Amino acid sequence: MNASLRKIGALLQKDFSDFFKNPTMLVVSLMPIAFMLLYRFMIGDVAADQGLSAEQASAASREVLKFLLGCALCLSIGMAGSMTVIYGIAEEKEKHTLRTLMLANVSAGQVVVAKSVLALVVIAVVEAGSFFAAGGELEWLGAYMALGIAGALPVVLVALVLGLASRDQATAGVYGVPVLLLTMVPIFGMTSPDIARVAEFTPCGGIYELMGMVMDGAINGSDALMPVAVTLAWVVAGAALFAVMFKRLTRDN
């Protein structure tokens, strides 16, 4: 047990070092924070542009903030999650680092645990940075981070499968795009009622809705049951997919 933990710790050190040395992974993972700053300054000052009354301006600003925090969750999970996992594993496979680790008596499970911890830490840091960049209030931070980690779990599990299935970084790029687009669907829900209905059942759809309820103080209502169920269903589905594909993919590689 201690030997396994030491190996995972060593892998984590290597993975964090690789993450900071790779400018593409680092920049893409930090992009959600930059987007939140940009969106905040572009659409945050609704009252000034529209000449609204104080009450209308307050309501409009709250809706804008609700949208920004929902975007922050989706972008952080999509960008940081797919980049750190899919690209990270693909880079190691391309450079034969993964094969070397296996020959050094490091198990595939230990590699996966290290990659998962790295991804969740990076996602949490990016989510926190995006929260403050969007102008979130401290009273929402705990719920925001909890929802972010819950929403990240199925995405990280799917990304692990896709990373193991990737032959190289070029293939990882192809696999990473659908993951990113799927996490971004809730952001476009405001453009169409049809998209909004579909977005509710996407991996980040549940946490997007729940974040809005947190801000409205309605998280304990019956309306929260469906988003919670959707989020849990995606976590279970992601775990099931990972369990089915993990052994086959590690054996093939």
pLDDT tens per residue, range 200-251: 899 898 999 999 888 887 777 677 889 899 999 999 998 888 888 777 666 5
- Domain chopping of the chain, boundaries: 2-252
With a CB cutoff of 8 Å and minimum separation 6, the contacts of 158 are 179, 238, 241, 242
**Hey, which of 48-57, 94-103, 139-148 has the most confident mean pLDDT?**
139-148
Token pair recorded at residue 71: 């975007």
Residue whose structure tokens are 């930059």: 34
The predicted pLDDT at position 57 comes to 62
Sequence-ordered list of residues with C-beta below 8 angstroms from that of 137, at least 6 positions apart, any chain? none
Percentage of the chain lying above the pLDDT 70 cut: 89
Amino acid at 103: L
Query: Helices 2-21 and 23-43, interaxial angle, to 10°?
Result: 60
pLDDT of residue 207: 92
Give 84-131 pLDDT, tens digit per residue: 888 888 887 777 777 777 767 777 778 888 888 999 999 999 999 999
What is the pTM assigned to this prediction?
Answer: 0.88
Residues whose CB is less than 8 angstroms from the CB of residue 92 and which lie 6 or more positions away in sequence, other chains included: 98, 101
pLDDT(31) > 80 = yes
